[in-house]
């Protein structure tokens, strides 16, 4: 089975973000980066499926040249090769434009299964996978916890709301968006890191792969939200803050 | 014809709790732009809408729409949109909508503006506001080109109690759908475990998140829960890791709670968690990141290291 996993590099969770001078994206020059967490689970699901049924895992990443770090990590964990679609304009792109670029790059690959994380930690549209499936004419299922493969089709466990689940049968080729946390993530081994250096990374340019479709949405500006709730925040030494909070909870909120 | 179409989710004829919030968004946008408001329901549940001010309720009927599939829903709604040309198509941002609405918008060459928290009208144009970076930053998004314009509405962003009452005629819309157009086969819905803990009955909940770092540290927060006389709960990553059972999970995939006091310890406040607890009467947040979105909903907060703050709170409670 040929499995393609779409991964994205995002700022580390604890990053202190600032809006850049264009007002349309964050200041990204001195941030640290990591793989988008749901994508790490998509990669893990792909690697586990390959171990069960043999085949190949190819990672595809749209991102700036700095994303090569995340791509190398995916190769070190066990992906066989990678496609890096270079673009500096990853922030203000809409998910349809991004999916269109990936679909074009994957035309010659003909994967049996495409996996993506269910959403990104930066833009958070939660749509790239579903859109990619539609652009490529494939069936899909989202928020997947488990994949079983047998005889040209797969049965997946979909997460619904309020603790409900559903099994869905899907013919291959298909696309799945993967939920975080359903399995344990592996670490790259020393051998894996060594091997990754020799694995193929095909470089493509986003500008050559763009769809001929006018944009239907435009990001105007980004900004920090104005607090609407009046919160009382204590940020002094722990003991002092704790005493103040307990005082407020007892005599102001009267909840204890 | 133009208008605002709200596509409202139901299961077994019962409307989703976020459906009326999406209708409230449709009514507000419709009122601001002087557009009629329509709703679409795929299956039962339309009767629950007839007391609201809606120009028409479209009930989409077909044997193949009884069980939800992304193919079936997309084909059916494409036909409704082609027949009625709505200016806006709004959805509640539910798991089901996340599964099919991007596909529907893509099929029409548009992008769904997902998880919208508010809107405003500028020079007669609609600007949608959505969150980036797990709620740390907001973005203004404008629609470009020709309608329809698609958007899904975040839980709690619009209030169902603002709905305008009135009358709503029901219009049946026949869908043309063939079995071979549906590629996926949905099987039974199921739940995994009986819930032994009913968090919804607790007056005080102390909830723990990623900030706790490892399983061995959970007792630190357990002790705080005991000191407050409350139940221990958790955000999703804690339950995924098996550090606490799933039945203690608060959020969109776990339980929705509204206790007298909710204490979030080391929880950043991703929207999936916030929707499960933001109705709590008093919210307390303890987090080392002053920019964490949890502080947006908190009444009281302590910015600091939970490993220092939690023991200090337990000490202060004894006094």
Residue B189 inside a domain? The answer is no
Domain CATH for B33: 3.40.50.620
Q: What is the pLDDT of residue A30?
A: 87
Residue B194 inside a domain? The answer is no
CA distance B242 to chain A (A): 10
Do B164 and B207 share a domain, yes or no?
Answer: no
Q: Decide if A115 touches B, using CB distance below 8 A.
A: no
Range A137-153 average pLDDT: 94
% of chain B beyond a pLDDT of 70: 98
Joined together, the tokens standing for residue B50 give: 């007839």
Q: What is the pLDDT of residue B114?
A: 96
Residue B273 inside a domain? The answer is yes
Angstrom distance (rounded) from CA B34 to CA B125: 13
Do B109 and B38 share a domain, yes or no?
Answer: yes
Residue B214 inside a domain? The answer is yes
ipTM: 0.93
Q: Do B110 and A165 touch (CB under 8 A)?
A: no
Range B86-102 average pLDDT: 97
Q: What is the pLDDT of residue A90?
A: 73
Residue B63 inside a domain? The answer is yes
Do B177 and B203 share a domain, yes or no?
Answer: no
Q: Do A125 and B145 touch (CB under 8 A)?
A: no
Q: What is the pLDDT of residue A227?
A: 74
Residue B259 inside a domain? The answer is yes
Q: What is the pLDDT of residue B124?
A: 82
Q: Do A140 and B70 touch (CB under 8 A)?
A: yes
- Spell out which residues of chain A touch residue B268, defining contact as CB-CB under 8 Å: 13
pLDDT confidence tier of residue A226, bands split at 50, 70 and 90: confident
Domain CATH for B298: 3.40.50.1220
pLDDT confidence tier of residue B194, bands split at 50, 70 and 90: low
Angstrom distance (rounded) from CA A74 to CA A78: 7
| DSSP one-letter string for chain B | ---EEEEE-EETTEE-TTHHHHHHHHHHHHHHHT--EEEEEESS-GGGGTTB--SEEEEEE-GGGSS--HHHHHHHHHHHHHHH--SEEEEE--HHHHHHHHHHHHHTT---EEEEEEEEEETTEEEEEEEEGGGTEEEEEEE-SSSPEEEEE-TTSS-GGGPPB----EEEEE----GGG---EEEEEEESS-----GGG-SEEEEE-GGG-SGGGHHHHHHHHHHHT-EEEE-HHHHHTTSS-GGGBBSTTSB----SEEEEES----HHHHTTTTT-SEEEEEES-TT-THHHH-SEEEES-HHHHHHHHHHHHH-
Do B110 and B141 share a domain, yes or no?
Answer: yes
The CATH topology of domain A2-208 is: Rossmann fold (3.40.50)
Per-residue pLDDT of A73-92, as tens digits, reads 999 999 999 999 999 877 76
**B224 or A89, which is more confident?**
B224
Do B67 and B172 share a domain, yes or no?
Answer: yes
% of chain B beyond a pLDDT of 90: 85
Residue B294 inside a domain? The answer is yes
pLDDT at A130 over 80: yes
pLDDT confidence tier of residue B35, bands split at 50, 70 and 90: very high
Per-residue pLDDT of B144-156, as tens digits, reads 999 999 999 998 8
Q: Which of residues 14-33 of B touch A (CB under 8 A)?
A: none
Interface probe, candidates A238, A247, A252, chain B, greatest B C-beta count within 10 A: A238
Q: Decide if A256 touches B, using CB distance below 8 A.
A: yes
pLDDT at B76 over 90: yes
**B196 or B6, which is more confident?**
B6
- Spell out which residues of chain A touch residue B229, defining contact as CB-CB under 8 Å: 256
Q: Do A233 and B302 touch (CB under 8 A)?
A: yes
Q: Decide if B213 touches A, using CB distance below 8 A.
A: no
Q: Which domain holds residue B308?
A: 199-318
Task: Return the domain boundaries, chain A.
Answer: 2-208, 225-256
Residue B186 inside a domain? The answer is no
% of chain A beyond a pLDDT of 90: 84
Do B174 and B204 share a domain, yes or no?
Answer: no
pLDDT confidence tier of residue B195, bands split at 50, 70 and 90: low
Asked whether the beta carbons of A49 and A114 are under 8 A apart, the reply is no
Q: Do A130 and B303 touch (CB under 8 A)?
A: no
Q: Decide if A137 touches B, using CB distance below 8 A.
A: no
Q: Do B98 and A126 touch (CB under 8 A)?
A: yes
Range B16-29 average pLDDT: 95
Range B228-232 average pLDDT: 96
Do B240 and B276 share a domain, yes or no?
Answer: yes
pLDDT at A228 over 90: no
Do B177 and B214 share a domain, yes or no?
Answer: no
Q: Do B103 and A221 touch (CB under 8 A)?
A: no
Average pLDDT across chain A, whole number: 94
Do B125 and B259 share a domain, yes or no?
Answer: no
- Spell out which residues of chain A touch residue B120, defining contact as CB-CB under 8 Å: none
* Stated pTM of the model: 0.90
Q: What is the pLDDT of residue B67?
A: 95
Do B305 and B262 share a domain, yes or no?
Answer: yes
Per-residue pLDDT of A21-63, as tens digits, reads 999 999 988 899 999 999 999 999 999 999 998 899 999 999 9
Q: Do B71 and A125 touch (CB under 8 A)?
A: no
Q: What is the pLDDT of residue B1?
A: 60
- Spell out which residues of chain A touch residue B252, defining contact as CB-CB under 8 Å: 161
The residue of chain B with its CA nearest to that of A38 is B237
Q: Which of residues 90-109 of B touch A (CB under 8 A)?
A: 94-96, 98-100, 102-103, 105-107, 109
Interface probe, candidates B15, B69, B95, B235, chain A, greatest A C-beta count within 10 A: B95
Q: Do B144 and A235 touch (CB under 8 A)?
A: no
Do B145 and B235 share a domain, yes or no?
Answer: no
**B253 or B59, which is more confident?**
B59
Interface probe, candidates A162, A215, A250, chain B, greatest B C-beta count within 10 A: A162
Do B138 and B100 share a domain, yes or no?
Answer: yes
Q: Decide if A214 touches B, using CB distance below 8 A.
A: yes
Q: What is the pLDDT of residue B253?
A: 83
- Provide the number of structural domains found in chain B: 2
């Amino acid at each position: 089975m040929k499995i393609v996993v779409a991964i994205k590099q995002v700022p580390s969770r604890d990053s202190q973000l600032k809006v850049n001078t264009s007002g349309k994206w964050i200041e990204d020059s001195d941030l640290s980066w990591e793989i988008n967490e749901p994508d790490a689970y998509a990669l893990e699901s792909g690697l586990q499926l390959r171990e069960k049924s043999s085949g190949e895992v190819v990672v595809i990443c749209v991102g700036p040249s700095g994303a090569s770090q995340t791509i190398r990590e995916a190769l070190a964990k066990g992906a066989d090769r990678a496609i890096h679609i270079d673009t500096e304009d990853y922030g203000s792109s809409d998910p349809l434009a991004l999916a269109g670029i990936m679909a074009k790059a994957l035309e010659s690959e003909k994967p049996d299964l495409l996996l993506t994380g269910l959403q990104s930690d930066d833009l958070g549209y939660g749509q790239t996978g579903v859109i990619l499936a539609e652009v490529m004419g494939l069936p899909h299922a989202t928020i997947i916890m488990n994949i079983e493969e047998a005889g040209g089709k797969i049965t997946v466990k979909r997460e619904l709301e309020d603790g409900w689940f559903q099994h869905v049968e899907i013919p291959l080729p298909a696309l799945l968006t993967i939920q975080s946390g359903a399995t344990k993530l592996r670490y790259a081994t020393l051998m894996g890191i060594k091997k990754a250096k020799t694995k193929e990374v095909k470089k493509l340019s986003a500008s050559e792969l763009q769809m001929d479709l006018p944009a239907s949405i435009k990001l105007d500006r980004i900004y920090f939200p104005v607090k609407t709730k009046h919160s009382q925040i204590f940020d002094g030494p722990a003991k002092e803050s704790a005493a103040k909070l307990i005082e407020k909870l007892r005599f102001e909120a009267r909840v204890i | 014809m133009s208008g605002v179409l709200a596509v409202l989710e139901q299961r077994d004829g019962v409307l989703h709790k976020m459906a009326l919030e999406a209708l409230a968004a449709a009514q507000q946008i419709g009122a601001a732009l002087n557009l009629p408001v329509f709703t679409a329901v795929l299956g039962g549940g339309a009767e629950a809408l007839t007391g609201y001010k809606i120009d028409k309720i479209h009930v989409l009927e077909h044997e193949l729409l009884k069980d939800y599939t992304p193919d079936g829903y997309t084909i059916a709604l494409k036909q409704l949109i082609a027949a009625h040309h709505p200016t806006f198509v709004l959805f509640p941002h539910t798991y089901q909508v996340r599964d099919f609405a991007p596909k529907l918008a893509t099929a029409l060459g548009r992008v769904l503006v997902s998880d919208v928290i508010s809107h405003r009208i500028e020079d007669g144009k609609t600007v949608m506001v959505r969150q980036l970076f797990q709620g740390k930053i907001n973005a203004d998004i404008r629609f470009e080109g020709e309608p329809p314009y698609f958007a899904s509405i975040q839980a709690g962003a619009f209030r169902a109690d603002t709905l305008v009452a009135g009358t709503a005629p029901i219009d049946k819309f026949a869908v043309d759908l063939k079995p071979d157009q549906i590629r996926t086969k949905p099987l039974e819905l199921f739940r995994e475990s009986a819930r032994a803990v009913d968090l919804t009955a607790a007056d005080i909940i102390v909830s723990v998140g990623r900030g706790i770092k490892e399983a061995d540290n959970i007792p630190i927060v357990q002790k705080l829960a005991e000191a407050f006389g409350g139940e221990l709960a958790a955000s999703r990553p804690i339950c995924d890791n098996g550090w606490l059972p799933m039945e203690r999970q608060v959020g969109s995939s776990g339980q929705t709670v509204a206790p007298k006091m909710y204490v979030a310890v080391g929880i950043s406040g991703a929207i999936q968690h916030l929707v499960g607890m933001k109705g709590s009467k008093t919210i307390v947040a303890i987090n080392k990141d002053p920019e964490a979105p949890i502080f947006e909903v908190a009444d009281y907060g302590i910015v600091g290291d939970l490993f220092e703050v939690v023991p200090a709170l337990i000490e202060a409670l004894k006094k």
